[in-house]
Amino acid sequence: MKFNRKGIHVRRSGSNVRFGLCCLAALAAAAECSAPLQAQTAACPTPAAHSPDETAAASAADDASPANNSLAAKAPIAEYRSKHFLVRTDLAKDRADALVERLEATLRIVEKYWGRPSRGRIECYVVDDLANWSDDALPHPLARVLVGGVGGATVVRSQREGKRIKHKPEVYASARPGVAEHESVHAYCTSAFGATGPDWYREGMADRAYYHRHGERDVQLPPDTMASLKQGKRRTLHEIVNRGRITGELSQSVDKLLAEHEADRQIQGLSGEAKNVPLEAWRPEHEQDVKTARESYLWSWALCHLLCENPNYAPRFRALGLGYLTGQSAKFEQAFDAVSREMSFEYDLFLQHVEQGYRVDLCVWDWNKSFLSAAERTAIVASVSAARGYQPSGLKVRAGERIAYAASGAWTLDAEGDALSADGAAGGRGRLVGALFDEFKLSEPFELGARGAFTAPAAGKLYLRCRDDWGSLADNRGVVSVRFSTPEERQESSDR
C-alpha cells in the first residue's frame, strides 16, 4: 500500500491499477444525524431517504415464498446503463431509473458549464441498504465505510496506457438524493480533465449539484444547514479559499481504517484480495471528522454558488475553474484582484440576506450605473423592479440633504397578488425602501413610499427596492418609476 498526498492508494497485486481516494462527499444526513451507526445498514437515513424499515417491509412483501421466511430478504443488485453512466444499485427499478435520469441531467449541466465532454461511462455503486451487498459486489475495500459512514466518495483508478495515464473514476454513494449527483461532478472532472481543482472548489462545485439537483437557481438548504450558514462563525473569502485539504482529517481516518483492517488480516494469516472493511469499524469519533468537513463544504458551496450565479463574477470564476482543472497555475486572489472589494461586499450582502428561496441573480449589485450629485443633477427618474434586490437610483446625496420624490406605477408581491403602489400593503410589505451605499458599506434601509420627502441620514449613493422577503422576490411583478426633485425644484418649493 502506498500513501501520497491524494489519499489512500491500494495497489492490486498483478496489475498496475491503483485506487486513489480523491474525494469524500460527507453529505448531510451522515453529518447531521446523531444516531449511532448500525452495522450493515445505510448510515443515517434522512426523512427524505428510504429508511431501512421501509426497505425491509418492501423486501418482505416481495418475498412471499414460505421457504425463504427464515432468511432476510435481499433486494437484488441490478445494472443500469445510460449514455454516460453504468449504475449498479439495489434500488427498485423506478427509483433506479429516476436516479440515472438525475445523473444524466447533472452531467448535461456540468458538460455545458465546463465545456468539455465526459469521457467513457462513469461507474457508480449506489447503495440503498448495505445488507444487500456482498463484499464481491463492492470492489473498493473501503466501500462500506464510504457509503455507510461518510456518505459517498469518488475513487480514481489511474491506469498507465503506454505513455498516457488514464484516470477512471468510480463512484460509491448512498442512495440519499443528491449524493450520487455530488459524486458524479467529481467523476466528470476526473474523466474530462484528469483533475478536480483545490478542495474548496471541488467540493463547493459538487455541492451545487447536491443542493440544486433539479437545476434550481434559488437557495434551498436543509434547515440546520441554513442555520449554520446564518448563525455559525462567518468565514471570509480568504478563509474559504485558503482552507487547504478540507477532507484531510476524514481521509486520514479512512486511510487508517484500511491500514488497521489489512494489519488484522495479516495477523490472522488471511491472504489474497482484501475483503471490505466492515462498517463496524466506523466509530462515532469519525462523525466529528465528517462534521468538520461538512462545515467547510458549506462555506465552499456558498462561495461557488455566489460566483456561479452572479454575472459580475461568473465569467471570471468559470475561467479560474478551467485554470484549476487544466493544471494552470490559477490563483483565486489574482483572478479577482481588480474586483476584490466589490466581491467582498456582495458576499457579505449574500450572507446577510440569504434564506430559503434566495436568488443571487436577482440581487446582483449594479456597479456600472453613474450617479449624479446635487450640483450635476437635472431631473432623475429611477426605475425599480419589484423582483430585484437593491437597484441604483442614480442619485448621490449629502448627509442631511432633503429630497422630495414621487413614485408612479404598481407592483405585486406574488403572481396572484393585488397591485400595490410604492406605499405597499399594511405591515410594510411592498413599500419602496432606500439605503445609502458609501465606501463599500450599505446603510440600514429607510422607508420611502409613493410620494414624499426624506432627509438623507448619511452621504452616499441611493439604492432602492420593493420591500419583500429576500427569499420570495422571484414571483414579484411590476416596475415603479421614482422621480426625484431637482435642486431648482427644491429651491422653488422652499421659496413658496
Residues 22-51 that bind Zn ion (CB under 5 A): 23, 25
Binding letters toward Zn ion, positions 425-464, x by CB under 5 A: ----------------------------------------
Q: Are 166 and 37 in contact (CB under 8 A)?
A: no
Residues between 369 and 388 with contacts to Zn ion, criterion CB under 5 A: none
Q: Distance (Å, rounded) from C-alpha 216 to C-alpha 196?
A: 23
Min CB(202)–Zn ion separation in Å = 6
Nearer to Zn ion, 126 or 206 (CB): 206
Answer for the pair 480, 413: CB distance below 8 angstroms, yes or no: no
Which residues ranging from 305 to 324 are in contact with Zn ion (CB under 5 A)? none
The footprint of Zn ion on this chain (CB under 5 A) covers a number of residues equal to: 4
Q: 142: Cβ–Cβ under 8 A, 6 or more apart, which residues?
A: 8, 21, 153, 254, 257, 258, 276, 277
Residues 161-200 that bind Zn ion (CB under 5 A): none
**Closer Cβ to Zn ion, 181 or 203, answer by number:** 203
Q: 35-70 burial string, b = 16+ CB within 10 Å, else e?
A: eebeebbbbbbbeebbebeebbeebeeeeeeeeeee
Which secondary structure element, helix H or strand E, spans residue 67, and what is its range?
A: none
Q: Considering the complex, what minimum distance in angstroms separates the CB of residue 204 from Zn ion?
A: 10
Q: Which three cell numbers stand for residue 239?
A: 478563509
**Minimum CB distance to Zn ion smaller for 204 or for 392:** 204
CB 419 within 8 A of CB 411: yes
Cβ 254 to Zn ion shortest distance, Å = 13
Q: Where in 224-310 does DSSP place strands (E)?
A: none
Which CB sits closer to Zn ion, 303 or 473? 303
Strands 2-4 and 7-11: antiparallel
Q: Indicate the residue type of 158.
A: S
Does position 155 interact with Zn ion (CB under 5 A)? The reply is: no
Q: Which is nearer to Zn ion, 23 or 37 (CB)?
A: 23
CA distance 394 to 287: 52
* Residue 293 binds Zn ion, judged by CB under 5 A: no
The grid coordinates of residue 259 equal 491500514
Cβ proximity to Zn ion: between 109 and 380 the closer is 109
Q: At its nearest, how many Å lie between Zn ion and the CB of residue 168?
A: 17
CA dihedral defined by 199, 201, 204, 210, rounded to 10 degrees? Answer: -90
Please report where in the chains the cell 449527483 appears, as a residue. 181
Minimum CB separation of residue 259 from Zn ion in Å reads 22
Going by C-beta distance under 8 Å and a sequence separation of 6 or more, which residues neighbour residue 110?
184, 185, 188, 189, 209
Closer residue to Zn ion, CB minimum distance, 32 or 203: 203
Per CB under 5 A, the list member of 122, 206, 254, 354 interacting with Zn ion is: 206
CB of residue 197 to Zn ion, shortest distance in Å: 11
Nearest partner of 366 among 483, 467, 481, 464, judged by Cα: 464
Which residue number, 27 or 435, has a Cβ lying nearer to Zn ion?
A: 27
H-helix or E-strand spanning residue 307: helix 284-309
CB-nearer residue toward Zn ion: 87 or 189: 189
Least Å from the CB of residue 352 to Zn ion: 28
Among residues 129 and 203, whose Cβ is nearest to Zn ion?
203
Stretch that binds Zn ion, among 18-26, 39-47, 75-83, 354-362 (CB under 5 A): 18-26
Q: Applying CB under 5 A, does 10 fall inside the site for Zn ion?
A: no
Contacting positions for Zn ion (CB under 5 A) = 23, 25, 203, 206
